[in-house]
Structure 1
Amino acid sequence: MKRFWQKRFINAILLIFVLTFSLVCVYLKLQNEKVIETVVEIPQNTSTKDVAMILKKNGIIKNPYFFMFYVKLNNYKIAAGKYKLSSDMTYKQLCKTLEKGFIPKTAVRVTIPEGYTVRQIAKKLQSLGLIDENKFLETVNSYNFNFKYKYTSKEVKYKLEGFLFPDTYEVYPGTSEKDIIKMMLNRFLEVYESIKDKKTTDLDDVQTVILASIVEKEAKKDSERGVIAGVFLNRLKRNTKLESCATVEYLLPVHKEVLSLQDVRIESPYNTYLKKGLPPSAICSPGKKSLLAALAPAKTDYLFFVAKKDGSHIFSKTFEDHLKAQKQIEEGKK
């Protein structure tokens, strides 16, 4: 009987120790206020103590001795390799990862230019061997990303058009289409939320992005972005058709320098030569400069503009002056 109670007492003490140790481990993990993510290399034949020291040096753990005890208590076998680790991982997650001997592939650096459409983004990512183009486009329209900004029209071509922010990203091969899209959406939120307080118009956030996408496609000179946004805003206020060639080109399978009469007669809610107001969605991914232009357009009386050969524009207040500008440009081409 005495031996029975001794055994019970030892088990109880051991249980209390394990629970206390676990609580201390949790406490120590919570002390990492700033989450650190980094790639850590564990060389061949590294002792548990040295592994713990490497993790501490890289900011992944706070106390190497508690980590060493946890590894030995659970009999984990750490394998050499390179691991992508985070300071918010639990000891269990760390040990499970360190058992795999995982060596991450080199990230691919991808630059998405301003003005790219969802289709162009998908095509570029596929050309780099990172995704399947069709799966990417399907994910854009089918997966529920719980994204803050949404289009209301059922005639939208791609639900996330305009929100996949143009920037340079580092993407590891094997990253899912969904995770790449999330990364680009998060970047959009990071940029847009930092500048949206500059808005001077009555447009809501989604309308602002749509306008910015048109500005992105129409403007070739940074100095003209605000003025072009001002022209379109003036036309919206007057309930005049925007007549943007860029919105028609969005409907075409290939780029055209000059639209035909047949092109501008395409029946579509995106054709601003036929439909008043903004199209149902953005027509590309606008960059920060175009977003700023749409948030705070230049105050102007201009209602028209026409492109010159160098990409700049002649702006006009009346249709008569607009026709003269067109004639001036045509004569300059001869």
Structure 2
Amino acid sequence: MKKLFHLFCFVAGVTSLYLFSLIFSPLSSEDKLLDFEIFKGQSAAQIFISLEEKGIIPSVYPAKIYNHMDPHAFIAGIHSIRTNYSISELLDVLSQSVNTAKERTITVIEGWTAEDMAAYLNKEEIVPHQEFMSFVKNPPKKFLEDYSFIFSSLQKKGFVPKSLEGYLFPDTYKIFDGSTSEDIVCRMLDNLETKIKGKIQYELDRSGKDLHGVMIMASILEKEVRTHEEFATVSDIFWKRIAKGMPLQADSTVNYITRKGTARSSYDDIEIDSPYNTYRYIGLPPGPISNPGFDAIMGALFPVKNPYYYFLTSKSGKVYYAETFEEHKANRRYLDE
């Protein structure tokens, strides 16, 4: 009986030390600043689940135990938190008041380029156009190292990303007045990193595709067609053309060079000597031409098999597919629909 008692005391002591470590040790060795939103009416249990889903805490249980020991009154709003907080520090911060009067909502549209975003943020008087573009085009090396999870496919090949174009995830964000370009870009990259984890990362590992190539393909799909069904169908067309050594001949890539935004490229435009000109150069361009949303990324990664090698989109947005070039030429009569 005495042995059982000693064993019980030993197990209880080890468990207590383990829980103490979980509650009071830093959650991460990295020191990143994140925004975490508590919605009005959320219970403590719902908040802990949200923290776990976002990867901020490894499990809800230490947070529940600590909150039972030291009850907290969590306050609705956007809280700025650091990834190296302990659970005890995190819960304390989430119990402090936030200045909701300084919150702003911005909406970044799927398929926008960095230039589009810069113009929008400048118009909304959030950050100047040139400041945003300067940061996107010349991100600090330390900044890229913090997001090695996203850029690892490039870094493994010895490339250093020269622009964040393609990785600025479109979504609706709540930000504070006074947010900098870096603050906003961090929110977008954090969001993308969250989206990549799970099914997308599993498929990248399984298929051997690299993230950069998928993001380039998704950025083209975003500019060429509209729905998730069309993304997956056209994705298969483009991947097949690449495999057969056929040029993509995507007008959207030419528009990225000319900034014209026309539905059809002129003969002069398709003669431009640029690696982004997919009429002249076979394969994918060297970088994304827009910032794709989740559906386009999924379409690029999970193409739907079909017999087509050609497609065109009419003015109304309807897509016409063809198996042969002769059929494709016949479909051109629908361009002005």
TM over 0.5: same fold?
yes
Compared with structure 1, are the counterparts of its residues 285 and 160 closer, same or farther at alpha carbon in structure 2 (3 Å cutoff)? same
TM-score norm. by structure 2 comes to 0.67
Do structure 1's residue 329 and structure 2's residue 334 form an aligned pair?
yes
TM-score norm. by structure 1 comes to 0.68
Q: Which residue matches 1:208?
A: 214
Do structure 1's residue 305 and structure 2's residue 311 form an aligned pair?
yes
**Kept after mapping to 2: 8 A contact 1:221/1:311:** no
Q: Which residue matches 1:121?
A: 117
CA distance in 2, matches of 1:287, 1:237: 25
TM-fit CA distance, 1:254 = 3.6
SS in 1 for 2:173: strand
Number of residue-to-residue matches in the alignment: 264
TM-fit CA distance, 1:84 = 5.3
Q: Which has the larger radius of gyration?
A: 1
Do structure 1's residue 229 and structure 2's residue 235 form an aligned pair?
yes
**Structure 1 residues without counterparts, runs of 5 or longer:** 1-25, 40-54, 61-81
Aligned mate of 2:168, from 164, 169, 182: 164
CA distance in 2, matches of 1:203, 1:83: 36
Q: Aligned-residue CA RMSD in angstroms?
A: 3.8
Map 1:142-221 → 2, pairs under 5 A: 142=138, 143-144=140-141, 145=143, 146=145, 147-148=147-148, 149-150=150-151, 151=154, 159-196=163-200, 197-199=202-204, 201-221=207-227
TM-fit CA distance, 1:310 = 2.6
TM-fit CA distance, 1:59 = 4.7
Q: Deviations over 1:163-187 (max 9, x none)?
A: 1100000010111211211110010
CA distance in 1, matches of 2:252, 2:192: 22
CA distance in 1, matches of 2:215, 2:73: 40
Q: Which residue matches 2:24?
A: 30
Do structure 1's residue 106 and structure 2's residue 102 form an aligned pair?
yes
Sequence identity of aligned pairs in percent? 26
CA distance in 1, matches of 2:35, 2:125: 29
Compared with structure 1, are the counterparts of its residues 32 and 207 closer, same or farther at alpha carbon in structure 2 (3 Å cutoff)? closer
**Structure 2 residues without counterparts, runs of 5 or longer:** 1-19, 28-33, 39-69
Compared with structure 1, are the counterparts of its residues 265 and 184 closer, same or farther at alpha carbon in structure 2 (3 Å cutoff)? same
CA distance in 1, matches of 2:223, 2:173: 22
Compared with structure 1, are the counterparts of its residues 133 and 230 closer, same or farther at alpha carbon in structure 2 (3 Å cutoff)? same
Amino acid in structure 2 at the alignment position of 1:203 = K
Amino acid in structure 2 at the alignment position of 1:290 = A
Q: Which residue matches 1:6?
A: none
